[in-house]
Structure 1
Amino acid sequence: MKGAVPLLLLFSFPLPWWRQLMLCSCLFLIVVHQCVACPLGIACCVEKVTSSVVLRSSVCPLVIACCVEKLTSSLMAPLRLGGSKRTYAEYAEPNPATDCLKLFDDVDDSRGLPQTWTIIVRIDVKFPMEPRYHDKQHFILVDTTGSKIEAISYGNKVHRFDTLLQQGCKYILKDVVFGPNWGDLEFRNIGHRFEVTLTRKTRVEPYTFRLQFPPCPKHLMPFHEVIRQPNKTFVDVMGIVVHMEPLEHVGNRLYREVVLMDARWHLIIVGICSDLFCRNFQRWYKARDEKEIIIATMLRQNSTHRCLESSDHTSLDFNPRHHTWHQLATVRRIMMERQNLRFVNRYLEARWAYLATVLPH
């Protein structure tokens, strides 16, 4: 920067604009080859000299600015000292295994489907193979955020993935194909806009890192949307326990119905089988008396009885830590203060009247 003042003095004399521009270019070259200062200092010198040239010459300032911009960009370019020592961060080639990693909520069809990505999942549910031809198998996958999606294998790949993928284990699945959900044409176990297809190019690797998957699903279905789901599909819900029906015998097993309420004060009935109820026997009565909040996953829709029923894949979580818990906590506090459950009795009477019309006596 010490040479900036003498350089500026040279332009104090009246010279034609083309001589000033030529002199400026020569001085810049001298600075580049003779000066060992940092590129930022050289750029500052360039800026001062340029301003002097623009003020004292009749040439278009835009022309001078363009010439100086090209020269400045070359000065600020990365330099290699000694031919081998690196003084800047080199460009890193993209890693397909990392850049193609996809979360289920980030999938969109803006670029068209199907598309191939890599996913990190836990096998939440592994359904048996199609019983007749053994040419199809369904899986419920959970990603690292708790979102769920259904995966399907077809044909001669069924036995391969049936051996590789075990329920409850974590995997890195590479080259899986995301496509639209064909639930309108074929049965699907859960509702989602997209589904995953396991193909012959899909590679399975065990996931050995200590990343913990969420214990509860990220998305829980509101009760007013549950009734719109196809029959025998699975849903995940969260609600307040407001009522429990007496214990009944259905077929050769014990069965009890529980009434849940969501944040919109909508009610739904959940049928709990004997095994699942006996494992949490005392907890259920405490939940009824204290109006506790529960999350129930993988409940099967029963459109005929207008209720949800527990399955072999159902899990229960009492007073869970979930990002929507505070909404139900406010409703629970209001209900505990009022202690008015007449709307529950009216709901049960209407349901029994409906069952009397559709079920044989």
Structure 2
Amino acid sequence: MSDLFTDPSPDPSTQLIHHPYVPPAGFETVTTAVHKASTVIFPSVAALRNRDWKHKSGYTYGLHGTPTTFTLEARIATLEGGKYCTLVPSGLAAVTLVDMALLKAGDEVLIPDNAYGPNKAFAQGELAGWAISLQFYDAMNPADLAAKLNARTRLVWLEAPGSITLEFPDLTALVATVRAHNQTPGQAHPLGVITALDNTWGAGLAFNAFTLGVDLSMQALTKYPSGGADVLMGSVVTNNEALHHLIHLCHMRVGFGISGNDAELVLRGLNTMALRYAAQDAATRQLAAWLANQPQIAVVLHPALPGSPGHAEWQRDCTGAACLFSAVFKPDLSQTQIDHFCDSLKLFRLGYSWAGPMSLCVPYDVPAIRTTPWPHQGGLVRFSVGLEAVADLQADLAQALMAMQYSKG
């Protein structure tokens, strides 16, 4: 019988699968090569048995990483100022991975009342069904967090700024509150209460989460790192090896994976991320300041605007701001008129997410998604500023405000 390794089969189906050609080494480009895999080939049984996926010392299976995903993880860790990164299929998957890795029946999680809605919904749904309790706290009041920390608290979520309403909390004070609790007698868990920050808005550029003392920083890479409005991905970063081990093991057990093509798009987006962040930041501040002076608007919420909740904390901790601002309309304008304003916009399109090239807007009913009182009476619209010319976006807002004035309430 012929040996396929010394005397190849004449059958093309076998030749094409077991072809001996290996391209020459030394090919180097600006972009990272895209490796796609479910199966990874081992050179020997010994290699199959000895490779360690837990510490990324080798490749074992597509879900556990490829050269492409390892490269992206290393770059996201550097962006965040951390050491260890785990990639997941979406920002929400990053939230749920943290919850599942750190919480068990009988534990409690504390979430800001102004946090990302799906974070709250997962806790109210799945976590509650797993006998994990939940309390919402006021992110702008560290004393409220202190009062709600208890012996069952295992995880405290932070978000800067708050989703939709963009209050910027005193992260240093909130982290210090958790650390003080961890020093109280009876805190038996070796890792104490963990702080996890949703850092999608800061994106690793506006501030360093680990300098401010958080334990975990997660992002929806869907937003700024991608930048193209065409990828769903999330990340969880930490400096703590024991904490990373818990995240990494849970990641393996739940089977989260990302595609090589999606990793390629995020790697490409990272090259221009700082430029896009700065450009959208500048445009957003200009539009927010202009809209704040329009007679139909009660208040504009943006951390860089004086008077916006948490402006002093943003000024202390941050070097930049993202592409989001929210406008609260005066209470004499009906929701029908506000909806007509949104429908009248030409460049700002109606759609969720943000940090892509196209400007977006979404109206929200804030009291319906809060447990704490909302101080404003008028309807709110959140804007995401894209990469269009600022003058064109301002003209679009102006014509939509004019159209709203002439609409029937």
| TM-score normalised by L of structure 1 | 0.25
Larger C-alpha radius of gyration, 1 or 2? 1
- Give the number of the structure with larger relative contact order, counting CA–CA contacts within 8 Å between residues 6 or more apart: 2
